[in-house]
Amino acid sequence: MNKNISTSIFLIFSFIAFGQCPTETIYLSSQAEIDAFAATYPNCTQLNNAIEISGNGITNLNGLSPIERIEEGLIIAGTDIENFSGLENLLYIGENLTLFGNSDILTFNGLNQLEEIGGKFFIDFTDYLENFVGLDSLTKIGTNYSLGMQISYNDALISFEGLENLLEIHGEFEIKGNESLVDFRGLNNLTSIFGNINIHSNDNLETFNGLENIQYGENFMAIEFNPKLISINALENMNSSDFYQGVYIRNNVLLSFCSIVPVCNAIADATITVIISDNSMGCNSVPEVEAQCDLAITEADFFEDLSIFPNPVSSTLNIKTSENISFEKAKVYSTLGKLILETSEKQINLETLSAGIYFVEVFTDKGSVTKKIVKE
């Protein structure tokens, strides 16, 4: 075959395979530009550079449906989209997925085929997003220490449901300022975080439930300023040997029990800086926690040996302890952490309290534990 003809055929097939794609970062700032993408870049399925989308009036991404891979990053900022319809064919993002200031996002539907984010997954400032439904195929985030996952200031976010297939996060795991977040449901299959763990300023976070299968974390772990946090027991299976930069548990005013294995191991390792302060009694200082570690007390022990009933309660709340522990006193707090009453009696009259949710902290000779109650 003539060499020129062979070259022409190769170029034709190359064009069909890769299409007419932009050769540098593409910026789309209007709905019209998004709608015209397929016509402007015919047969383009793989972007070798980044794509940035921003601007009021952008309500959908349907014009981007041919895209299957983005080798660099995807930034979507300040749009009016409610979901990611139009990105159904996207399988891979090579660098960061940055979602900033898209206040109307409701779901991740449209990203159902996305398998990997090679950089940082950053989502910030949404008003209505409650979970991560739509990210059904995502298995891995990040490729090195400087990347990871940052979820911050999403007012309606309740859980991580939708991320059930996520296995690894390479880089920091930072969850901050999500005022409705209750726990970590949805991350049940996550086993490793190759970077810092930083959980702070989540106003309604109560437990770490959903992270029971986490076995590895590194550099440092900080749990701070979560005013309703009552349990970190879900982290019991984590190996803390790589938290060489420190473990910080501070300003969680209802957290009274933190002598879980990774924290105890960190305290026992003289090379690890451990700071524990301004939590509830029992988890208010390193010596308090160390004493519980030495006694090998577990949160499960408390819940076996101590019961609070009835719950919900209309008038009198009863506290019952086994012979293994000795009751000392109890405190009742509002959901804002305000002390309402303190008593040395096992029967607590709550008739004067308004209906709602409260926290009862029970102190014993082996430490203290906090439980949530409902007043009818």
Sorted by where each begins, the domain ranges of the chain are 18-300, 302-375
Output Rg (C-alpha) for the chain, integer angstroms: 26
pLDDT of residue 1: 46
Q: Which residues contact 351 (CB under 8 A, 6 or more apart)?
A: 314, 315, 316
For residue 319, count other CB atoms closer than 10 A to its CB: 20
pLDDT of residue 302: 64
- Joined together, the tokens standing for residue 352 give 């004067």
- In 3-state terms, what secondary structure has residue 138? coil
- Joined together, the tokens standing for residue 264 give 């105890």
Q: Which CATH architecture has domain 302-375?
A: Sandwich (2.60)
For residue 33, count other CB atoms closer than 10 A to its CB: 16
Find out whether 100 and 49 touch, Cβ atoms under 8 Å: no
Find out whether 207 and 153 touch, Cβ atoms under 8 Å: no
Find out whether 165 and 141 touch, Cβ atoms under 8 Å: no
pLDDT of residue 6: 43
For residue 331, count other CB atoms closer than 10 A to its CB: 20
pLDDT tens for residues 201-257?
999 999 999 999 999 988 899 999 999 999 999 999 888 667 888 999 999 999 988
Find out whether 226 and 205 touch, Cβ atoms under 8 Å: yes
pLDDT of residue 101: 96
pTM: 0.80
Amino acid at 344: S
Find out whether 70 and 51 touch, Cβ atoms under 8 Å: yes
pLDDT of residue 298: 59
DSSP structural state of residue 71: S
SS3 string, 234-258, reads HHCCCECCCCCCEEEEECCCCCCCC
pLDDT of residue 337: 72
H-helix or E-strand spanning residue 295: helix 286-295
| Residue pLDDT tens, the chain, 376 long | 444 444 443 334 443 444 689 999 999 999 999 999 999 999 999 999 999 999 999 999 999 999 999 999 999 999 999 999 999 999 999 999 999 999 999 999 999 999 999 999 999 999 999 999 999 999 999 987 768 999 999 999 999 999 999 999 999 999 999 999 999 999 999 999 999 999 999 999 999 999 999 999 888 999 999 999 999 999 998 886 678 889 999 999 999 889 898 999 999 998 999 999 999 888 999 988 887 787 655 555 666 678 899 999 999 999 998 887 889 999 998 877 788 999 999 999 999 999 988 888 888 887 777 778 889 9
Task: State which fold the 18-300 domain adopts.
Answer: 3.80.10
Letter string b/e over residues 284-310, b meaning 16 or more CB atoms within 10 A of that residue's CB: bebebbbebbeeebbbebbeebbebee
